[in-house]
Structure 1
Amino acid sequence: MFSEWSRTVQTLYILFSVCCFGVSDGLMKMCGEIIPESPVLQIGSNFTASCILYNKCVEKENIHANQIIWKIRDVPVPKEQYIVINDTVSNVTFNDTSTLASPLTCNVLMQGGIEQNIYGIQIQMGFPPDKPKNLSCIVFQIPKNDKLKEYNQTCTWDPGRETFLDTVYSLKSQWPDKFFPDCTPDRTNNSCTTDTVAFYVSLEVWVTAKNKLGEAESDHIVFDPIKHVKPLPPHNLSLNSGNFSTILKLSWENQFIMNTVDLKYEIRFKAVDSTDWMKVPPEDTINRRSAFTVQELKPNTKYVFQIRCALKGLHYWSDWSEKAFGFTAEGKPSKGPALWRKITTSVSTGNWILLLLWKLDPSEANGVIRTYEVSVMGKPPVSFPTSNYSLNTTQLLLNVQNGTYEVRVTARNSAGESPTSVLLIPAINSKAPVKNVTASPKDGKLWVEWEPPNDDVSKYIVEWYEHCDNVTCTSDWQQEPGTKRGTFLKGDIKPFKRYEITVHPLYINGQGQETSIQAYLQEGEPARGPIVRTVKVGKSKAVLEWKPLSVEEQNGFITKYVISYNTLTTNETGVSVGVEPFRTEYYLSSLSSDTLYTVQVTAFTKKGGKSGPVFTFTTKKFEEGEIETIVVPVCLAFLLVILLTVLFCFKKKEVIKKHIWPNVPDPSKSVIAQWSPQTPSKHFNSKEQIYPEGIFTNVSAVEIEADHEKSFSEQDMKPFDLVKKEKNASEGHSSGIGGSSCMSSPRQSVSDSDEGEPAQSTSSTVQYSTVVPSGYRDQIPSVQVFSRSESTQPLLDLEDKPEDQQALGRDDATPRLQYFKQNCNQDDTGLDGSHLERVKQIFPINEEDTSGIHNPPMCNSVLEISEHDTSFASAFHPGPEGPAVQSETITINSLTGDETPKCYLPQTVMQGGYMPQ
């Protein structure tokens, strides 16, 4: 808020000061002034300004000179440049005014921190004028009308350096006895024009320059205006050839007419299609004239002429006149047509297809060619008669024999005929060729140069065509005299196009072999880059191939190819390789396996290169054949191991068979099959006799679940119980060999039941075991050994003894049951302590199980075999290799849930069936 109040007070004070003190030179005068008022300073000089305070302001405002602040464009001047003279005067000094600018202001710091402007001045800086130099004057002839001519005089000078100030230049002139008014330039400082011109009187002229920093005056020159006249050019030009083919007559009218003064002329001319002007020698046109005849022109050619004039002996030439056009008359052709041929062999006849070509340059035709006279004559041994043709075309196609021909061509126009051109066409080019043919651009054209052969050449044929791929290109040619060693191609030669150039030397009596070269008028960068691809990729190498650019795409000669390749998965720096221009494939090596690479090919000419598209490929993880070198040996080693294993198995087949597939004796061929209870001699009373040491070689047991429920009817199953104890109890009493039937190993069997409960569906297992004696394989053991077999196959042959079958029938089940009970109670096991220990060693038995061996329980189970079960009896049949026993399991649903068998019935293999011991 205080700042706003201060700005308000300052504004009111300024308005009051303006009203009280007024305005001077556009700056407000308040309480003082600056001296000098509006200085004009030379750049680089010293300058001192003084700010003087008015006494009334000093007393009223209580300000002093030491409160003055100097500023340049609101930028304070360093106080080191201040000098306080007294209470009312303060000076500021600038040693170099080149840094000074406007405005320069004087300011006072008032009470309250308010800065008050006292006064300000504008400063002009510049240089004093230099002395004008090179003063010269010209009198121009100005057309007013056809009869009256006027002149004005223009003087020019060099004003020197820029002054940066308003400088007045004045052109002063006088006669010896008369001064002329000054001529002041309107817009420029270096020329002035006056219309007062007097001839034949000496005129003194000089220039003055003046500004606020000084004055200057040029040197005085004295001249006669008549000698400084620039006349108007001749006009109304006309050209006439008459009947001459090399002459044109030029006529004109002069615009400067003064009998006392002679004019000189300068004439220039050229053919319309040319860029070079030719001039008539000045000495031929020095006299006054209004016409001139130009000679040695070309016949039937259009020319353009111009002329200018000047006063004789002076150098102020007039401007060139307007252009005048004219034609020369026709003349006889100056040269015979250039003659050439193209030969191809006919496929059908083997003869030549001869194409004769000729041309005549317009500059040599000297008119319009009306006809060409062509003569073709065969040389012996060719029997081709002389043929004459009159044509208005420039080619002739003939079908001729292979051989030598002489061709003559003459051109004819309205003025006459040309010299005859002769071409000898030999069967072969047997003469010497030119040497070291080169072609290069020169002056915007294509220059061809060669070295001549040692023999004299009558003329050269230079043939060229634009090279194009797979296209028959149109050729052009030109004839050069035999004295030349080089020439410019005269056709339409285009940049960035490749030309095939051939030089043929022609002799009087034959032709020389051609020599060819390729060249460009101008080369550029290729239009596109090569497209690269991989031909073969390996683990650490790759073969790249690219198709060469066509000639149209090259835009120059390919100098080299640069192959750049890098990986995408790493930050490695790319690799660049230069390749010769004639190669189109490259072999990359030292690559990383199983890595993605990018590759790009750039084609270069002399003017630059162009890159083709980027191609990516991935190296292989394994080299070609590397997998085979690993897999094949491994497979061979594996096969070798298998072969060795098979050989070993064949060699050790008996051992392998013993451990893996042991021989199971046939129970029907066992000696136990010969034992019968009816034969007392076959009872064994001694356990040592039954089980001598070392007779057991192998014991095997196989359990097979089989459903034979259908073999028993409900009525048949009532008297039987199935032991509840299954395999766990069976493992405790595994054999029961050599003892009472009650001591046989626990197993599931059928039993009778006093209660009439139906049989449950639990499975019962009938076990068979086989004991193989050491005297197996056709050897009769010393002691007949038997064991209870756990095979499900029947051990009975009931058909042999019908009486046994009747004894086991269903009708006499009761007597059989009593018989089994009596025998089961007999203590005929004959197991003593030594034999029990031996049994434990062979078949481990729990202690709880062995306790029942000495006191066998009474058998409460009764085994009843129905007639249907008699089919089991055919399971055992003697074999030629001795007894063998098959172990199987028969499952019978005969146990009730609450009954437990008290022992196992003894089962003895007999020919007649199962009988008690």
Structure 2
Amino acid sequence: MMKSTWMLVIAVLVLNGARTEGDSEPCAKIHTSISVVPLGSPVTATCNIREDCLVGLGQAVDIEWRLGSELILSSPAANESNRVSRVVLSSFNYTRAALICCIRASSQVIAGVEIRAGYPPETPQNLNCQTNLTYPDTLNCIWDTGQQDTHLPTKYTLHTEMRDSRENHTYELPPEINHYSIPRTDFGLFSDMNIYVKAKNDLGEATSAHIVLEPVSAAKFDQPIIAKIGMQPKRLGCLKLTWSLSKQQSWIRYLAVNLEVRLKTAGSDRWSDPPIPFSQVKLSKPVVECCRLFHGTRYLAQIRVRYKQSPWSEWSSSKSGVTLETAPTGRLDAWMKVSRNHTSKKLNIQLFWKPSKLFRANGQNLSYVVSQQKSYGERWRMCSTSETCCSFQLSGRVRKVYLSAVNSAGKSPPTEIRVYQPKAHMVIMDVTAVPHNERSFLVQWTAEVISDLIGYVVEWKPLLKTDLSHIHFETVNKSQSSLIITGSFEPYKPYGISVYPRFKDGIGSPQTVNAYLRQKAPSVVPKIQIKKTWESDIEISWDEIPLEQRNGFIKDYKVFYWDENGPIKVVSADAEDRRVILTDLNTVSLYEACMMVSTFGGSLNGSTIYFKIKPFDAVTVVVSVTGVGVGLAMLIIFTVLICFSKDKKLKGHFWPVVPDPANSSIKRWSSESTQFTHPSWDEEPNLICLSHLSFLDLTTKLSKEEDDIWLNSSEDTSDLGESICGSPFMPSYSGSNSESVPYATVLLSSSCNGPISDEPHVYLRSESTQPLLETEGSFTPKCYQNAAIDGMPREQCFFGPCDNDNPEIKEDPPIVWDDFPFLHALAMNEIESD
């Protein structure tokens, strides 16, 4: 642009500069052979100054040439004066430039001319015309101008010749335009036309190749419409399609067009290739039939049309239809996982299956039945489901189950599946799973070579979904050691991939790895918790990140901590050990800490926490220990006081309870007391009935100053003398310092309110420490006669030998009752000995 502007300025100067007064012609002219030349060709120019112009310029004129701003050497013209100068350019390499002549002394421009260079036009290529049958109807033609730039304005003209009417048309286009739409009035739909293009510039012209076409055969139809698609009655595997052209082209009725149909099963992402062709389909009967399809299968269909060799229309919108159903055919690929139930002693079965390459569903709403063969020929249904998995229990004696596919038209032949006991063989080693592309994993493994190994089962499932329907599997032979598994895998989600060995008589133990298709930084960072604190160290821990928020394998944890003035320190922990210890901390600084969690796909930083180590205070420790000691002492004292306040209950718990005659009923005695049992803390002892109370047989009569309540009793005491023989006192007894003296009671086996038993009385001895008598002398213990056993009286001496027959025994001394206050409280009358 700047060059062109500069050259135009030069041209104005040339026209208006060197002129004589009253003269409109310039003083000089430049003559060239041509103003437009092929690029790189030679150019010759001559500058001629008018003689009358020399008056103003002087007689001594020296002419020089310039091409733009470049000085060019020149030579005087032969047989001419110095008013004429000639220049020869061996190669003109500019597309556009100004050639001027000047007066050398004053650099005054006296004449100039513009020279342009370029190339002749290329022959137009790929002329193509297409008819538009939608209003307004036109014939649109377009062509290629070529790859080389001519650097010169090029004009194109489109020429049409009608063969039938010999009507010709020429359409001139503006420069550089390479397309044109011929109106409907200038062509006939069913008449052949001869069409070509001419290109022309200042250096020449070129004509394209001629094409002959029928405009209707060059028409590209609009996208057609599938009006209806459905099954053919009694024609298995066939679909009938009814279609039409678009509403804008519905006026076309009497053509026979070519048509193509492409199909795909519902759920598939691949169309049939190649499409199904149909030739010479009349627009008056737009119906086609597609056969050799799967039975009972839903298909999606699209069509496209064209007339003869015209361009194909765009594919129509999809329309679906279902073929007639028949019973399923082929077998199913199955995979069974067996485990033992130790509670019920049955086998837990998880059965998975999928269609084999030869399986055909042949219907909609497919379901599956798993059954067990009974001994008398019938089959017992274990489960019926529309899923591709089932779980149930079997007896350990069952060896086979049968799997069948069912639709509304029937049932497939059963697939026999053998039930094997689980085996503990560990032959799979080094399982790895890495992403293969955006939708698949590459699984590799190694295994020990075992003679009965027949293959492998590769199983995969999403770890965030526990339903059995999400488990997929693939069976491979034993020669393989890798497999590419493809499915609807999601990035940042964990998957469990297992490889099982298959033997002739069972399935071995698997090896399992987890895998991510793609990883990124975790969604959360766990919260740091302070667990323990020492003098200058602190232990911090954190919880495990939930599986659904990890987004990859946790590589490590890093804890960054720093104080107000110190550098940043880093402590790392692996994925399993979720704890670190921060060491060498001082007690005067406030610390900050944060955590960074990293996976193999990125890292995430958590929030910052603040903490400070408390200084070690010896006084505080002493006070704390003292407080604990005082509290413990108070607790001991309080416990002791409680024990003393509950003295009676404690005594009754740890020592036998002996009834106090002064504070008890003579007629009622506790069974616990007489049988030396320990009463409970809260319950009253159960009472039993006594027949009577037997006292020691005393030879000395009691004082009769008071009434003898025992003599007035209605109870019979005639057996007192017979029940006790000998003295009740210990030989060592003296005064009130006697240690013990026995009591004896007669117990009845019945209760107080019950009838009196006929069984003989049973005498029990009591070892009470309560003093009964006080005497200065010593006595020899008497015999104690128990109840008769088996009709024979039995004697037993508690304090010495039995001397009932010893005549030397002296009579008992008189008893002083004032020495026995607890007996005195009974207000007993004096008992005289017989």
Q: What TM-score, normalized to structure 1? A: 0.45
Whose RCO is larger (CA < 8 A, sep 6+)?
1
- Structure (1 or 2) with the greater helix fraction: 1
Q: What TM-score, normalized to structure 2? A: 0.49
